[in-house]
Chain A
Amino acid sequence: MNNNVDMSVDFGGLKLAGPVFTASGTCGYADELGDFMDLGCLGGFITKSITVEPRKGNPTPRIVETDSGMLNAIGLANIGLDNFIEEKLPILGGMSCAVFVNIAGKSAEEYIEVARRLCGFEQIAGFELNISCPNVKKGGIAFGTDPVQVAEITKKVKKAGGGKKLMVKLSPNVTDISATARAAVEAGADALSLINTFMAMVIDIESGKPVLANRTGGLSGPAIKPIAVYMVNKVYNEVTKGTGVPILGSGGIRTGSDAVEFMMAGASAVAVGTASFIEPASCEKIAAGIEDYCSKKGIDSLKKLTGSLC
């Protein structure tokens, strides 16, 4: 362990012990990963998207591997708000890092309902607003592509969420991601999370049908990393720089050096998704990799890394 690097992060006023988050939907409800790594390495934990009612999710196949990536169409399968409060909140209460609950819904009212019911729990540091899920018919991405709707839902959930931090998760499936980013920031978002997955399709040429039962899915993994780095840098330069609104960068991060790229581009912290499937201790290794890099380069605080791109 190198003690000469300050790994803490000021995340929009929230003090984090480290810069690495688990990405929504890729780390169960936290109990699963404990067998593989010390959860103390995490700066933040983001839950699977929670909706008011339980959701079964899509039929299988729900995933398919692609060259350097994968498509998923899980369909926001989750246990619903009531079960989440009863069964999972107590587990999350035991975590030392900042817990963000990812919220999804079919209508603005549903998002508000989840935020309203959860805002009283002190084990929750904040909410991540999923307005960018490509795998549900209604809601999700519809909110996420129109700046007017992004602003509106951000305002409403911010109000319903009491004093909790609100992080808005942006969709990359837009012409100009700075437009939705700006809308969220102006409407009061405390942080931005980017990017979610890209709409994509894989076809089975034997059957002539899409491989996924949902037909389309979201592309994640190393394949999307360079685009994600570009988008983080674009939003940092055009929207958040100087505002104090931090960016949680994600998309294909597998190593410490991947994470350093995101931070140089403008991210204050990073989220790791697909990489945890291949290596369940990814978050721990990535945190160590970032620290190693800083130590070698004589960078004593992560703040100096964020947005340091020449």
Chain B
Amino acid sequence: MAKGSFTATIGYNKRIGKSFYKIGLEFSGASAEVFADVKPGQFVEIDLCHASLPADNKIPGELCDSAGRNIILRRPFSFSDIAVEKGKTTVEILYCTVGPASLRMSNLEAGDSVSVIGPLGNGFGMPEGKTTALLVLGGTGAGPIIHLAKQLKNYPQIQKIAFVGARSVEDLPFEKIADCIGAEGGDYLAEFSGTDTQTFVSTDDGSVGSKGFVTDILYRYLKQSGVERREIMVYACGPEPMLARVAQIAESENIDCQVSLERRMACGIGLCQSCAVECKAGDSGQSIYKMCCKDGPVFDASEVVF
């Protein structure tokens, strides 16, 4: 069914770390059907303008300044999970409080309602014909990758490995991290439980996992892996410099790679052209702009000009 504008009810909204939260948006009736088959990488535009800010003493110091800003635009968020029951679909979003809209989101309580436009964008392509899926994520890029890992359960024959990066242990959007990760990773992270996904973690400061960039552990893994390059699919979501490096590695190793990009979006539905992504126009050496909200947010890495 087509995208549209719907009302969602908050099922839960829980804090899972210093500044990370998981919120469950419940859809019932016709909207339950619309959201029942959302794909990992797709997103929604949420109107948070009418949600209130937390009380002064609950606003983190570093956000006091930006919290004072009035907001008028919706905000894009992708899904981290989905649960379908009869007549009710709950989509989960993993988000980080970074400014006035996400702060308002953190103040929503079960039973509150918000206006949601979606589902939007194209989502990740499934790894048809592959034997190995490598999932690379940084920071809030975790949401769509966790959702993807859950979806990949439908491909039991495919080997799944996640490479998780963050500045520091506090910037990892997961619960109970310390319990499950050894120095070189290789264990299973709670969020990926049941998805049969092996996890390697790196932090810039070495506070958990290996010290360095997530792209370093991806590169090291590929160098020692004997898997045929054409049997691998890389999926990546996170900060743009990380995605650029992943795309570079994929290109040099001749591996298929999909990246989920973020742009500032005014509308999310193709009205404004604010979300331009520079893409290669064939082999001409020229470039064109595609729209992140309509043509993406997932792009073939080889097509993007980083």
A residues in contact (CB < 8 Å) with B: 25-28, 32-33, 35-36, 48, 56-57, 59-65, 67-70, 72, 74, 77, 221-222, 274, 276-281
Contact with A along B251-286 (1 / 0, CB 8 A): 000000000000110110111111111100000000
- Of chain A, the residue at the smallest CB distance from B286 is A56
Partner among B73, B287, B288 whose Cβ is within 8 Å of the Cβ of A277: B73
CB proximity of A180 to chain B, nearest CB, Å? 26
Give CA–CA (A60, B305) in the complex, Å.
13
- A65 near B271 with CB under 8 A, answer no
Give CA–CA (A249, B85) in the complex, Å.
48
- B74 near A25 with CB under 8 A, answer no
- Of chain A, the residue at the smallest CB distance from B68 is A67
Partner among B270, B276, B278 whose Cβ is within 8 Å of the Cβ of A28: B270
- B5 near A281 with CB under 8 A, answer yes
> Could you say which residues of chain B place their CB within 8 Å of the CB of A279?
5, 47
Partner among A36, A57, A67, A72 whose Cβ is within 8 Å of the Cβ of B266: A72
Additional A-B contact list (12), CB under 8 Å, known A27-B271, A274-B266: A25-B272, A26-B271, A28-B270, A57-B289, A63-B264, A65-B72, A65-B73, A68-B72, A77-B273, A221-B72, A276-B267, A277-B272
- B264 near A61 with CB under 8 A, answer yes
- Of chain B, the residue at the smallest CB distance from A36 is B5
- Of chain A, the residue at the smallest CB distance from B69 is A67
Give CA–CA (A28, B70) in the complex, Å.
26
> Could you say which residues of chain A place their CB within 8 Å of the CB of B71?
65
Count of B interface residues, CB-CB < 8 Å = 30
When A35-B2, A57-B276, A64-B264 are in contact, do A278 and B47 touch as well, CB less than 8 Å? yes
- B264 near A28 with CB under 8 A, answer no
B residues in contact (CB < 8 Å) with A: 2-5, 47, 49, 69-74, 117, 263-264, 266-267, 269-278, 287-289
Give CA–CA (A25, B276) in the complex, Å.
14
- B289 near A63 with CB under 8 A, answer no
- A278 near B276 with CB under 8 A, answer no
CB proximity of A119 to chain B, nearest CB, Å? 26
> Could you say which residues of chain A place their CB within 8 Å of the CB of B289?
56-57, 77
Give CA–CA (A280, B117) in the complex, Å.
9
CB proximity of B5 to chain A, nearest CB, Å? 6
> Could you say which residues of chain A place their CB within 8 Å of the CB of B273?
25, 48, 57, 62, 74, 77
> Could you say which residues of chain B place their CB within 8 Å of the CB of A27?
271
- Of chain B, the residue at the smallest CB distance from A54 is B288
- B274 near A28 with CB under 8 A, answer no
Chain A CB within 10 Å, residue with most, of B71, B270, B289: B289
Q: List 27 A-B contacts (CB under 8 A).
A: A25-B273, A26-B271, A32-B269, A35-B269, A48-B273, A56-B287, A56-B289, A57-B273, A57-B289, A60-B274, A63-B266, A63-B272, A65-B69, A68-B72, A72-B274, A74-B272, A77-B273, A221-B72, A277-B73, A277-B266, A277-B272, A278-B73, A280-B5, A280-B117, A280-B267, A280-B269, A280-B271
- A62 near B274 with CB under 8 A, answer yes
Chain B CB within 10 Å, residue with most, of A25, A60, A70: A60
- Of chain B, the residue at the smallest CB distance from A254 is B72
- B72 near A69 with CB under 8 A, answer yes
Partner among A35, A62, A280 whose Cβ is within 8 Å of the Cβ of B264: A62
CB proximity of B304 to chain A, nearest CB, Å? 13
- B70 near A68 with CB under 8 A, answer yes
- A70 near B73 with CB under 8 A, answer yes
- Of chain A, the residue at the smallest CB distance from B117 is A280
Give CA–CA (A277, B70) in the complex, Å.
16
> Could you say which residues of chain B place their CB within 8 Å of the CB of A65?
69, 71-73
- Of chain B, the residue at the smallest CB distance from A213 is B276
- B269 near A56 with CB under 8 A, answer no
